[in-house]
Chain A
Amino acid sequence: MWEQIRDNQTRSVILVTALGIMLILVGSFLGQTLLGDWSIGLLLALLIWVVMTLVGYFQGDSILLSLSNARKIGPGDMPRIYNVVEEMKIASGLEKMPDIYIVDDPAMNAFATGRDKSRASLAVTSGLLQKLSRDELQGVVGHEMAHIRNRDVLLMAMCSVLLGTIVIIAWYGSRVLFFGGGTRRSSSGGGSAQIIILLVAIALMIFAPIMAQFIYLAISRKREYLADASSALYTRYPEGLASALEKIAASTEQLKSANNATAPMYILNPFRKSGRVAEDLSSTHPPISERIRILRAMAGNVSLAGYEVAYNQAHKGGGGIIPRSSLVSGDVAAQHDEVSAAVTPAEKERAREASDVLWKMHKYREITCNCGLKFKIPPDFHSNSFTCPRCNTTHSL
């Protein structure tokens, strides 16, 4: 049943190798044109890559989480999100519960990170918690859990490091080449071979970042489709994720704390012109309208095979999202629990619930007066007592 993970890994290894070859090409050609030596350029490129990869592997998740101002919550802080994550953890067969983080941001988004299945984290924005029902939240969390389960997070992190290295080297290389590297050519006195190398170097400088971007997109888009398919299988209810995506697409808020390197980690591309609807502008992610259409076309059969069929309908053939080996098991019926839908509080209460958690995370103390008023006491409040403005009761701290 889990063969698709292994199959996908082989495919990913090929793509990562392609990215690596790109890096080697850029490095060695730049070395030849600028320093007159293939090996030095190659070594420098590899060195930069190794350092960035090591940092990404060991510190990537904490860097990403702190960059996005995410704060960790426990089971008692917000039972609803904790329970939803635990449900999806069970459904996906993951052994260890991932850490849950909340990002204080009205934009709706979520991402997963961590280098392996036993050290994974999952972050959601407070906007997502406010605006999504329980079923929708389950779909989104299922999608992120699939990323963890399919080992996408590490792969995507390593790919973005490679891509970043290529872009950086090409960028600096082109500056040096165009604005200062001209003198070296005459001294080595090569003739036509030298000019060809120079031309190739310039071509590489221009096309390598673009090519790398394309390879990167090829990896990340496939992974998004597979995560959608897995989410439908885990929840047995594709409509949940579909309507969550619909809500996310319709919102116009932009995530404050995202950048180019972290974009593919999110459930939806965080970059879009602010004020504009998300529509199909995303590039690291497949068009959102298409993701919704495929999920809705699955109807009764929510297995991976059902997703493949729906995908083929949307694309008039093509397919190949799900490896053939995992398509053998039969139909899986969708099921939906009405009680689960009823237990979701109204949007106003969800907003209050989310903001209460945020207050708590900022170490505000909560005191409820006998008359029903709730007070949030800031951590730097120095006085020993305060008086309730409604009923004049004095509370000591």
Chain B
Amino acid sequence: MLIAIVLILAIAIILVLIIAGIYNGLVGARNQVKNAWAQIDVQLKRRHDLIPNLTETVRGYMQHERGTLEAVTNARTMAIKAADSGVAAQARAEGELSQALGRLFAVAENYPDLKASQNFLALQEELTSTENKISFSRQFYNDSVLQYNNKTQMFPSNIIASMGGFKAGEFFEVTDTVEREAPKVSFS
């Protein structure tokens, strides 16, 4: 009799420990997703802050490229507006901003004076790096979401996930195709 009680107690304790472990794992994964999202946000804000400086610097040199400059300014405004309207909408707006910036830097190649300006070079370095940081934080965010979603869908953690209200995370998808192309590697 006593043995049976001890046995049942032991099994109960082990079960509780396992459930607690799975639950904590889920919370950890969800926090990592949140954290990774905050990282993207920091970099997106940084880009929004840098763009007025860039357009100010470039304006004097590029009299004939009013359209390209306006496209960048407009895309920035749209991206800031989209910040509160969900992951998918924000991803789209930020993707358009990336493209507008890419066009601006491509056009800048035709202006040797601009390319010699220290101010422009420093801004270009900062913006390019911010662009990289955005895509790296997005990369890490998507990895974290994948890891978290796997946990919410796989047995046995899916049972605890559905009881504890853990919803699957949303991926930050890239919309433009250029970024997804594999690089050409030469073996010469």
Contact = CB atoms under 8 A, between A and B. Distances in A.
A79 interface: yes
A329 interface: yes
Contacts of B182: 299-300, 333-336
A337 B140 contact: no
A336 B182 CA distance: 7
A343 B183 contact: no
A360 to B, nearest CB: 16
A337 B131 contact: yes
Contacts of A147: none
Contact of A93 (B36, B122, B132, B185): B36
Contact of B132 (A1, A79, A92, A337): A337
B125 A337 contact: no
B183 A90 contact: no
Given A91-B140, A340-B128, A1 B147 contact: yes
B140 A339 contact: no
A236 interface: yes
Interface string A180-208: 00000000000000000000000000000
A339 B125 contact: no
A121 B181 CA distance: 34
A237 to B, nearest CB: 6
A339 B180 contact: no
Interface string B112-153: 000000000110111011011101110110011011000000
Contacts of B139: 91, 236
Interface stretch (A80-88, A109-117, A213-221, A371-379): A80-88
A86 B43 CA distance: 11
A300 B184 CA distance: 10
Classify chain A: how many residues form its interface, as a range: 20 to 34
A86 B124 CA distance: 16
Nearest to B135: A337
B112 to A, nearest CB: 14
A239 interface: yes
Contacts of B137: 90
Given A90-B137, A345-B121, 16 more contacts: A79-B125, A83-B132, A87-B136, A91-B139, A93-B144, A234-B136, A300-B182, A335-B135, A335-B180, A335-B182, A335-B183, A336-B182, A339-B105, A340-B128, A342-B105, A343-B125
A272 interface: no
Between B125, B137, B140, B182, the greatest number of chain A beta carbons within 10 A of the residue's beta carbon is seen for B182
Contacts, number: 75
Contacts of B43: 90
A71 interface: no
B39 interface: yes
Nearest to A240: B183
B56 interface: no
- Give the residue among A86, A87, A90, A335 with the most B Cβ atoms within 10 A: A90
B155 interface: no
A281 to B, nearest CB: 24
Contact of B180 (A93, A299, A333, A343): A333
A222 interface: no
A366 B143 CA distance: 45
Contacts of A80: 125
5 contacts: A83-B125, A83-B132, A84-B129, A329-B146, A340-B131
B151 to A, nearest CB: 11
A219 to B, nearest CB: 27
Contact of A87 (B124, B129, B187): B129
Interface in B26-81: 32, 36, 39, 43
Interface of A: 1, 79-80, 83-84, 86-88, 90-93, 234, 236-237, 239, 296, 299-300, 329, 333-337, 339-340, 342-343, 345
Contacts of B144: 93
A296 B185 contact: yes
A213 to B, nearest CB: 35
Given A1-B147, A87-B136, A296-B185, A79 B128 contact: no
Given A93-B36, A333-B180, A87 B185 contact: no
Contacts of B132: 83, 87, 337, 340
Contacts of A299: 182, 185
B84 interface: no
B76 to A, nearest CB: 17
Contacts of A91: 136, 139-140
Contacts of B105: 339, 342
A342 B131 CA distance: 14
A188 to B, nearest CB: 56
A1 B187 CA distance: 31
Contacts of A87: 129, 132-133, 136
Given A79-B122, A337-B135, A239 B129 contact: no
Nearest to B147: A1
B140 A90 contact: yes
B42 to A, nearest CB: 9
Nearest to B130: A83
Contacts of B39: 90
A92 B143 CA distance: 11
